[in-house]
Amino acid sequence: MRGLYPIVDADTLSARGIALLDFADQLLAARPPLLQLRAKRWTARETLAALRALLPRCRAAGSLLFANDRPDLALLAGCDGVHVGQDDVPIDQVRRIAPGLKIGVSTHDLHQLGAALAERPDYVAFGPIFATASKANPDPSVGLEGLTTAAAQARAAGVPIVAIGGITLERAPAIATAGAMAAVIAALLPASGALGEVAERARALQVALA
C-alpha cells in the first residue's frame, strides 16, 4: 500500500465548525486507498450513523473504510476494517468478533511493532514520526530514522506500514522514500475554512506519497 491515508477526526472538525461528511467528500475526491473515521467523544449511535453515511461515499471513490477502536461498530456499519490502538481490543479478539474485518494496529516503538507484526495485521501504523498536535498526550517522536528501521522490519514481515504524526506535504516525499503510507489529519484541514482547499491538499499529498 502506498499513498495517503486520511483520518476524519470528528472532534477536530467539530471544533472548527466543519461538517464531517462535507469534509470527507473533499478527501475522497483524491481517491485515497483508505479512509478512517475517528470519533473519540461521540456516542456509539453517532459513530455508527456516520460510518453508515461514509460507507457509500468510500465505495464510490474506491476507498476502504476503517472505523477507529470499535470492531463492533465497524461490523454493524459494514466497514472494510477497524484500526485499534495499544489499549484497544487485541487483534486476536477482533478476529473472533469479526473475522471478515481487515485490521490495522498502532505501534509507537520497535517492541510494539515486533509484537504487532507477529500477529499479521493488514497494516501497522508507526509513530509519531514528527511532533503532532492531534493527540493530547502523544508518544515520543521516532523521526525518519526510526521510520526507516520500522519500515524495513514491516517489509521483511510482508506487512504494509503507515507512518503517522506531523506529516505535511513537505515531509511526504521522505515518507514515500521510506516505503510507507501516511496517515494525515492536520495537514488536510483548510487554512481559510474553505473546503475546496481540502481536496487540493488531499490530491497533492496523494501524489507526493505515491
User: What value does the mean pLDDT take over residues 44-71?
Assistant: 98
Residue 137 has pLDDT above 80, yes or no: no
> Residue 109 and residue 114: Cα distance in Å, rounded?
9
Question: What's the pLDDT tens digit per position in 27-51?
Answer: 999 999 999 999 999 999 999 999 9
Domain boundaries, the chain: 4-209
CATH no. of 4-209: 3.20.20.70
Task: Tell me what pLDDT residue 134 has.
Answer: 66
44-61 and 20-28 helices, crossing angle to 10°: 20
| Look-up of cell digits 489529519 | 185
Question: What's the pLDDT tens digit per position in 174-208?
Answer: 999 999 999 999 999 998 778 989 999 999 999 99
Quick one: pLDDT band at residue 139, thresholds 50, 70, 90?
confident
Element (H, E) at 25: helix 20-28
Got the DSSP string for 84-152?
E-TTSS-HHHHHHH-TTSEEEEEE-SHHHHHHHHHT--SEEEE--SS--SSSSSPPPP-HHHHHHHHHH
Residue 60 has pLDDT above 90, yes or no: yes
* Residue 108 phi, psi dihedral angles, 5° rounding: -125, -5
Residue 62 has pLDDT above 80, yes or no: yes
User: What value does the mean pLDDT take over residues 127-147?
Assistant: 86
Quick one: pLDDT band at residue 135, thresholds 50, 70, 90?
low
Task: Tell me what pLDDT residue 7 has.
Answer: 98
> Residue 50 to residues 78, 138, 186, 196, 206: CA-CA distances in angstroms?
12, 26, 20, 21, 24
Task: Tell me what pLDDT residue 194 has.
Answer: 83
